[in-house]
Amino acid sequence: MSIQLGREVDFPNLDRQSAVPLYYQIQQHILQQIRSGQFKPGKTLPSEEVISERLGVSRMTARQALKSLCNLGVAYSQRGKGTFVSGIKLEKNVRQVQSFSEEMEARGARPHSKLVSFDVVPAGEEAAEALHLAPEEKLIRLRRVRVADSVPMGVESTCLPLQLCPDLHEKFDPRTSLYRALSEVYGIHITQADEVIEAGLASSEEARLLRIRKGSPVFLFTRTSYVESGRPVEHVKSTFRGDRYKITNRLGQLSKVNSPGGGKWTQG
Amino acid sequence: MSIQLGREVDFPNLDRQSAVPLYYQIQQHILQQIRSGQFKPGKTLPSEEVISERLGVSRMTARQALKSLCNLGVAYSQRGKGTFVSGIKLEKNVRQVQSFSEEMEARGARPHSKLVSFDVVPAGEEAAEALHLAPEEKLIRLRRVRVADSVPMGVESTCLPLQLCPDLHEKFDPRTSLYRALSEVYGIHITQADEVIEAGLASSEEARLLRIRKGSPVFLFTRTSYVESGRPVEHVKSTFRGDRYKITNRLGQLSKVNSPGGGKWTQG
DNA sequence: AAGTGGTCTAGACCACTCG
DNA sequence: GAGTGGTCTAGACCACTTG
């Protein structure tokens, strides 16, 4: 699928008939070389000009490929110098919006859930505010114990506006992935979430469900999830074991993605 | 600074002499209208074509402005439909790479630090691996109690390769911001970090330093920070009070930024 | 059919870095 | 001065959504 030009860099054979965009073919090819270690951290990637000439694409297309690598975090650009491979590992467990099922599968564990309760309740103050509803509106509340490889990891209480998915009881098996059901049955795709994490101690009920001692350290999560339009669709409160569950974050600086490159004029 | 065209949308007067890029002027103008509530969530933003015509810029420039708004998370695009304002609040406390000082100032609190110790030690296994050093190499270790508005929030132990900043003792006042000093004195700009968070209980030493009871819930942070090239420059272990410190995250889906828009061919 | 965003071209000028 | 990335133009074709 690729030809060797020179000693160090090889360029893909582009498929111009394919529906896959050219810049994406280029991005994937470079990405593969970085993953396989052919491009070492700190190494200069081919410049926009070079990619443009060798592959017979316009400079803007070459640029788009390199820029997407920068957005991924595997490369970075410096005006006047070039684009370089970053030493940061790509494959690390970075937390994103994902269900417990997705998260555990990504970590290589088999997830499942034990149903605690599945009922309809009035929203109450906190959930009403988070979901932009009146406190009298009704919610579907789903309480589950989350299990990974037979180890109970946490207790989770999920609230959804009843109006959003009135027949959820019939169409969803509570032992499976709620996100999958929301996506497939209702076309609701959760793309963002705000989350507050607190450190606490297990109550006696939590201790019983999670098979730990009362007073053990736990994480308390409060999460509100949104679809792309920013409409909140889910309010979750959960308690996870501190002894079996760790949080892994990658922190970046948001500003970089959205501000111009290099200039000295930048406003703060 | 702007003229009213029609009833709903107003367009900026662009300063073509300015060093500020055109797309950024447009982005900032729309952003301001979103912030001030003139563009409500769900509302359609002016299309690329319209911006292009009204402002006399090329479509690519208009597109770049809209795309940067999508990257910020305040808008989203749908092929064939338009670009819409997202309902998600922009100003929320989103965790980024930032020092304790920056974080507390952002939350409106006055930060300072009490020095516990400031010495040179051998790296040891864990820090050596994180910083890509041999275990015998020397580190500067800085232990501080972090205080916000006179309340002790956490104990922090920061390790830096001695070789990176051999005269840090002379050039840095441990009560101030380390990141500021690294940036101003050594030109070291930390741009990314990997972080692991665990839930635990306060030891007796931590309890004494933080003026809490032994066994109180705490967060345990382990953080490795990187400069843009991916070189690790800092390894931090810290313990923060569970009763006074909360973690706020915004989770998104990484994939969106780097994959093509709309196509059905997407590989996974 | 009209409007929209996604991709792409073939140029251009600039500011910056480096030898 | 040569090479690099940052910005910008004025077009183009396409796939998709909506009326």
Rounded Cα distance between B251 and A99, Å, is: 12
- Closest nucleotide to the alpha carbon of A260, via C1': D6
> What is residue A5's predicted lDDT score, i.e. its pLDDT?
42
- A148 vs A52: CA distance, rounded Å: 48
Mention every residue, 6+ apart, whose C-beta is less than 8 A from residue B176: B101, B113
Shortest alpha-carbon distance between residue B38 and chain A (Å): 17
CA-to-CA distance for B125 and B185, rounded, in angstroms? 29
How many interface pairs between A and B have CB atoms less than 8 angstroms apart? 183
Residues 155-184 of A with CB under 8 A from B: none
Tell me the CA distances in angstroms from A172 to A67, A180, B82, B171, one per residue in order.
Answer: 41, 9, 33, 62
d(CA B112, CA B173): 11
Q: What digits encode the pLDDT tens for the residues A99-126?
A: 888 889 888 899 989 999 999 999 999 9
Distance from CA of B95 to the nearest CA of A (A): 7
And the tokens for B210?
């933080």
Report the SS3 class of residue A184: helix
* DSSP characters over A86-133: --S-SSS----S--HHHHHHHTT--EEEEEEEEEEEE-HHHHHHHHT-
Q: Taking Cα atoms as reference points, which of B193, B116, B192, B132 lies closest to residue B164?
A: B132
Q: How far apart are CA B155 and CA A106, in angstroms?
A: 33
CB A48 within 8 A of CB A67: no
* pLDDT on residue B217: 97
Model confidence, pTM? 0.88
Residue A9's pLDDT is 72
For residue B199, the model assigns a pLDDT of 96
The verdict on a CB contact (< 8 Å) between A265 and B19 is yes
Which is it for the CA torsion A179, A180, A183, A184, positive or negative? negative
- The amino acid occupying position B196 is V
The token pair that represents B115 in the structure block: 């020095």
Can you give the pLDDT at residue A3?
42
Q: In degrees rounded to 5, what are phi and psi of residue A9?
A: -110, 135
User: Residue A200 is inside which H or E element, if any?
Assistant: strand A190-201
**Structural element, H or E, at residue A28:** helix A22-35
Q: Tell me which nucleotides of strand D come within 7 A of a protein CB.
A: 3-12, 15-18
pLDDT of residue A117: 96
Whether residue A253 lies within 8 A of chain B, CB to CB, comes out as yes
List the beta strands (DSSP E) in chain B: 2-4, 10-12, 75-78, 82-85, 111-122, 138-148, 151-161, 190-201, 217-227, 232-241, 247-251
Residue segments in chain A with a per-residue pLDDT below the cut of 70: 1-8, 90-93, 254-255, 262-268
pLDDT value of position A265: 55
Q: Does B95 touch chain A (CB under 8 A)?
A: yes
Facing B242 at nearest CB: one of A76, A199, A232: A199
Average pLDDT by stretches of 10, chain B with 268 residues = 53 91 96 89 93 96 96 91 88 75 88 94 94 94 95 96 91 90 88 93 97 97 93 96 92 75 53
Residue B71 amino acid letter: N
